[in-house]
Amino acid sequence: MRFFVWLFRAFVFFALFAFSLNNQQTVTVHWFFGYVWNAPLVIIVLAAFAAGTVVGVLAMTPNWWRQRRRATQRIEGAAATATPVAAPVSAHDIPDGI
């Protein structure tokens, strides 16, 4: 199974590498107020992907914090109301000769 995971990773790497080699043309991005950015296409695509990832993580952060707070409150509440329970005895806990 590990072999297939590494094979998949290698395929993705080489596919992205080939994509970057095939898209080295300089493109122009026109921003607001007359600002222009000239860069290779692969850099523009990478920047757009990175910006989208950052926006997605920032959008999800409040929900993550809320879920963490709820989970912590539930764990603390369960620990406060829990009654002690005896640990189960396993075969390793019984000494030899009994």
User: Which is more confident, 2 or 56?
Assistant: 56
Burial 41-79 (b: 16+ CB within 10 A, else e): ebebeeeeeeeeeeeeeeeeeeeeeeeeeeeeeeeeeee
Does position 98 have pLDDT exceeding 70, yes or no?
no
Does position 58 have pLDDT exceeding 80, yes or no?
yes
For the entire predicted model, the pTM comes to 0.57
What residues are paired with 38 via a beta bridge?
Answer: 28
- Give the mean pLDDT of the chain: 86
Q: Compute the average pLDDT of residues 2-13.
A: 92
Quote the Cα angle for 50-44-52, to 5°.
Answer: 25
Size of the chain in residues: 98
**Cα separation of 50 and 21, whole Å?**
19
Tell me the percentage of the chain whose pLDDT exceeds 90: 44
pLDDT for res 19: 83
